[in-house]
Structure 1
Amino acid sequence: MTVEDQERQSEIAAIEQVVATVEHSQNNELPDDFVGLFREDAIWTTGHGKRLFGRDAISAFTHQTLPGGLKDMTVTFEVEHVLFIRPDVAAVKVRQVYRTSDGQNVGTPLFVMSKEDGKWRLTACQNTPVLDE
């Protein structure tokens, strides 16, 4: 493996850690941990199409919905593909599965992430449900 390949794998591992933190913060209803992953000027579109502009709006929404929002439910996130647009900007396709006693719902978020001060941050994100899987 070349040095370039090793560096790319290291960046992918760091991106996967951000996605793992999204999963952990949602399953454990930790809104501050979730909100802390975003850039100050981030854009988030929820799975129901609500558009949120900026970390403050994302925080207000998350603090309203996350506590209790996953009652009797768990969610998993799996990085399916990473496209580096630039070395410090990546489009990350994620497979999201919400599980309840009644079954599961699948989503397919797209996280555009940017590397800021050595840390990957959620920058522009769209959460989309999958109707048939």
Structure 2
Amino acid sequence: MNTTHIDEQARETELAAIKQVVAAVQHAQQNELVEEFAGLFRADAIWTTGGGKRLFGRDEISAFTRQVLPGGMKGLAVTLDVTHVLFIRADVAAVKVRQVYVSTDGQPSESEGEGTPLFVMSKEDGHWRLVACQNTGVLDS
């Protein structure tokens, strides 16, 4: 597909669909829904955690998530906001996300802080899927 000729209406439609996937990631993390989270990835996806652990394939991503997510959000809430989308092709996008953890009383989390994930997504069979993702923490400056 030619990326230089995505019309504005199609671009807005695709941006909305991408933002829905990011919202689904937030919902799955917030509610500790392992299968929902893993289902957002393509079967052969790559995920690098905030701690640098490399995971290859949905099965490995799911197994890791099953270990860390249940109970991992205790006392925390997370927000994920799309800050930039680069369409590499009409069906492939690099998506920068601002990830902020707060305590359930709304205070910034000192232990989790903020992250700046990069989600590479592809549109397959009419649905955007996570393909290659890197979760990176933001160091205090």
2:69 matched to 1:66? Answer: yes
Aligned length: 131
Specify the alignment match of 2:117 in structure 1.
109
Please give the alpha-carbon distance, in whole angstroms, between the structure 2 residues aligned to 1:116 and 1:48. Answer: 29
Asked if 1:129 corresponds to 2:132, the answer is no
1:71-103 superposed Cα distances (whole Å, 9 cap, x missing partner): 000000000000000011000000000112663
Identity fraction in percent: 69
Answer yes or no: is 1:54 the counterpart of 2:54: no
Aligned match of 2:12: 9
Q: Tell me what 1:77 maps to.
A: 80
One-letter code of the match for 1:103? P
Counterparts of 2:44 and 2:108 in 1: how far apart (Å)? 36
For residues 46 and 75 of structure 1, the distance between their equivalents in structure 2, rounded to whole angstroms, comes to 16
Q: Which runs of 5+ in 1 are unaligned?
A: none
**2:34 aligned to which of 4, 13, 31:** 31
Task: Find the residue that maps to 2:7 and give its secondary structure.
Answer: helix
Letter of the 1:118 counterpart: G
TM-score (norm 2): 0.90
CA distance, structure 2, for counterparts of residue 63 and residue 116 of structure 1: 26
The runs of at least 4 consecutive aligned structure 1 residues that moved more than 6 Å come to: none
Residue ranges of structure 2 left out of the alignment (5+ in a row): 1-5
Q: Report the secondary structure of 2:45's partner residue.
A: strand
TM-score (norm 1): 0.95
Shift of 1:4: 1.3
